[in-house]
Structure 1
Amino acid sequence: MNQQSIPLLSSAIGTRRDVTVFRFGPTRSDQKIYIQASLHADETPAMLTAVLLKRRLLALEAQGALAAHIVLVPVANPIGLSQYVLGQFVGRFELNSGKNFNRHFLPFDAVIDRAKDTLGADPLENRRIVRQLMHDQLEHHTPLNEFESLQYELLKLSFDADIVIDLHCSQEAAMHIYTNETGWPEFEPLARYLGSQASMLANDSGGQSFDEAHSLFWWQLQQALPASKPVHTGTLAVTVECRGQRDVSYEIAQQDADALIDYLTRRGALRGDPKPLPELPMPATPLAGSEQLYAPVSGILVHRVEVGATVRAGDALFDIVDPLTDATVTIVSRNDGVLYMRRAIRFVTAGAPLGRVTGTQPMRTGMLLSA
């Protein structure tokens, strides 16, 4: 294992934060795997999973079982880790700007324009050329502040990976994943090993999140090129939501770390016989088909079903009780699907988001992600 500390652009005199990187296996390899945790810094279950994954990788490396170059960043957001305000942990948004740490990563639009004039007929050589163009764009980009330097350094670590796994969690949730349609065949085994109760697919969810900064770019590149200039996909990316923020235990984190090891073994990044694939808990569904539920009124929020429950259209999911008038408003599902996440709140204002249910038929367009 090799450990590296990458300094971020200092936001003020006398301050400095670093991104710590652990590298395993041969640096010269046919494949590179990039895994990071807690880009939203308050999503602690992902961080603990990364800790236990690091222990497994150390042991496997000592046994000579690593066939790929594996890059692990257990703390992908040292900025957010410092953001405590009156005892509350704010790890999703940067307090200086209000920006979401996992939105609007640097796009590679200029690479697509240059590739049209540069590529030839060999899809493997074209992939190499595109990665060099991406490298060049990153080398010539100058971040303006600490927030931008964090996003920039994470992209520099990951842009040339074959597989990117971004570990997150929600507020209260079942295990679920997000990827694109191209990546689903690759990540379906991962969904099985993780026991993912919902797998949502979207080529472009609208937020330029970290996973889509990789996968969406390659999809858009392939759409933009003529048939005479084919290019193999360079990076497939997935976001893994490790349940909810309070699901922090050695047992759960070990289960998820072991699932990642099983997946890496199956795709040949680790030497050994892969474990048999478990049943897929639920088929993949379009992210555009997931129903976003909101509070029509203010009041006490009462949850009627648990996360991970299979629901039918018309099933009651939430009650909102007015503590002054005793009036109760019930929110029901419009979908047959899985209630895969809900907010960790018990009193709501009108318009507050409550939770999400998967669905098989697209019903939303535009921005598919929450703030």
Structure 2
Amino acid sequence: MQTQRKSLVSTTLGTQRELVSFHFGTPGEGEKVYVQASLHADETPAMLTAWQLKQRLKQLEADGRLRGEVVLVPVANPVGLSQHVLGQFLGRFEANSGHNFNRSFPMPTAAALVTRIGSKWTRDARENTRLLRRAVRDMLAESTAKNEFESLRLTLLTLAADADVILDLHCSLEATMHLYTSPASWPEVEPLARYIGANGVLLATDSGGQSFDEIHTLLWNEVRALLGEMPLAAPNVAVTIEHRGQRDVSYETAREDADAIVEFLVRRGVIEGQARELPPLLHPATPLAGSEQFVAPVSGVVVYRAAVGARLKAGDPVFDIVDPLTDEVTTLYAKNDGVFYMRRAIRFAYAGAPMGRVSGEKAFRTGVLIGA
């Protein structure tokens, strides 16, 4: 294992943070896998899973079983880790700018990349993939971050730019295990969904948020469209793993999740060995555009009628909002069949508050499909 420390741009006098990455295996030998955890810094179940994965990778490397390269960033957001206000941990948005740490990642444009490679494009898909990844890294290296926030994003992108597989570990507020990935990545991700016991898989080519995992496959699609008949290999396999809810922090679940990731890597040949038999897929993949988004129509005390992870039928009650002043109880019902895969953690709602989501088989939403 090699440890790398990248100093981030210091935004204010007397402060200096760094991003620490751990590197296993041999670069250029087999696939490169990039794993990061807790880009939203308050999503600590992901961080504990990454720590467990680190212990496994150290032993696997010592045993000579690595047949590829794995880059692990267990603490992907040292900036957000420092944001505490009156005892409350605020790790989703950068306090200085208000930007979500996992939105609008600034990748080089497809047009700029195609132009940069120019006459070097070939009729060999693998060679074109190598050229594209190198060009992405070179253009990122030429970028200059103006502040700590930009520095963090640029450092993360640079570490992941040439990876074959990108695993972005997160969690939700209160949730069942679920994944977000693209239709292009789903065939390669399905074994991971089985091993990790995903109770929901949400598919979108472009959710509108330019999140970390999505920008890599989006870039590939855009470059492919510009190249026309020029061949290009399949895009990076990229997925966001939601390790249940923020309070689901235990050695047991973190160990199980890390073991599932190891099995996935064994199956891909990144780790030598025989992967265990694939378990059944708990729930088929559904379009992110088919997920029902619940919004509180009134303010009041929230009483959930459905358990997180429950499989609901259209018409099932999902939650009540109780007004203790007027005695009015407002009940919201599911409009489609699906899994109640995530919900609000605070048991009080203001009018317009996002309350939870239920997956659905039929796409009906358009535009931006993910929240702030």
Same fold (TM > 0.5): yes
Q: How does the TM-score come out when normalised to structure 2?
A: 0.98
1:363 aligns with 2:331: no
Partner residue in 2 for 1:49:
49
Partner residue in 1 for 2:155:
153
Moved more, 91-100 or 121-130: 121-130
Matching of residues 200-211 of structure 1 within 5 Å: 200-211=202-213
Partner residue in 2 for 1:18:
18
Assess if the C-alpha contact under 8 Å between 2:302 and 2:348 holds in 1.
yes
Partner residue in 1 for 2:214:
212
Over 3 Å counting, the alpha-carbon distance change for 1:117 and 1:207 in structure 2 is farther
Structure 2: how far apart are the matches of 1:285 and 1:222? 25
Q: Which amino acid aligns with 1:41?
A: A
1:299 aligns with 2:300: yes
Deviation at 1:117, TM superposition (A): 5.8
Matching of residues 129-148 of structure 1 within 5 Å: 129-148=131-150
Partner residue in 2 for 1:310:
311
Structure 2: how far apart are the matches of 1:156 and 1:351? 38
Q: Output one character per residue of 1:171-193: Cα deviation in whole Å (capped at 9) or x when no partner.
A: 00000000001100000000000
Q: Output one character per residue of 1:5-63: Cα deviation in whole Å (capped at 9) or x when no partner.
A: 11000111110000000001112312100000000000000000000000011111111
Partner residue in 2 for 1:347:
348
Partner residue in 2 for 1:2:
2
Matching of residues 113-124 of structure 1 within 5 Å: 113-114=115-116, 118-124=120-126
- Percent of aligned pairs sharing the same letter: 56
State the secondary structure of the residue aligned to 1:320: strand
Matching of residues 81-230 of structure 1 within 5 Å: 81-109=81-109, 110-114=112-116, 118-227=120-229, 229-230=230-231
Structure 2: how far apart are the matches of 1:234 and 1:364? 25
Partner residue in 2 for 1:27:
27
State the secondary structure of the residue aligned to 2:166: strand
Structure 1: how far apart are the matches of 2:145 and 2:122? 32
Partner residue in 1 for 2:58:
58
Structure 2: how far apart are the matches of 1:317 and 1:115? 53
Structure 2: how far apart are the matches of 1:113 and 1:320? 55
Assess if the C-alpha contact under 8 Å between 2:108 and 2:140 holds in 1.
no
Matching of residues 202-351 of structure 1 within 5 Å: 202-227=204-229, 229-351=230-352
Structure 1: how far apart are the matches of 2:304 and 2:68? 45
Deviation at 1:116, TM superposition (A): 6.7
Structure 2: how far apart are the matches of 1:30 and 1:53? 19
State the secondary structure of the residue aligned to 2:26: coil
Structure 2: how far apart are the matches of 1:132 and 1:25? 20
Structure 1: how far apart are the matches of 2:323 and 2:271? 56
Q: How does the TM-score come out when normalised to structure 1?
A: 0.98
Structure 2: how far apart are the matches of 1:116 and 1:178? 34
Structure 2 unaligned regions, length at least 5: none
Deviation at 1:120, TM superposition (A): 2.6
State the secondary structure of the residue aligned to 1:252: helix
What value does the CA root-mean-square deviation take over the aligned residues?
1.1
State the secondary structure of the residue aligned to 2:127: helix
Structure 1: how far apart are the matches of 2:195 and 2:346? 30
Structure 2: how far apart are the matches of 1:275 and 1:93? 39
Structure 2: how far apart are the matches of 1:351 and 1:112? 44
Aligned residues: 370
Assess if the C-alpha contact under 8 Å between 2:177 and 2:198 holds in 1.
yes
State the secondary structure of the residue aligned to 2:339: strand
Structure 2: how far apart are the matches of 1:117 and 1:333? 55
State the secondary structure of the residue aligned to 1:121: coil
Assess if the C-alpha contact under 8 Å between 2:92 and 2:101 holds in 1.
yes
Structure 1: how far apart are the matches of 2:203 and 2:18? 33
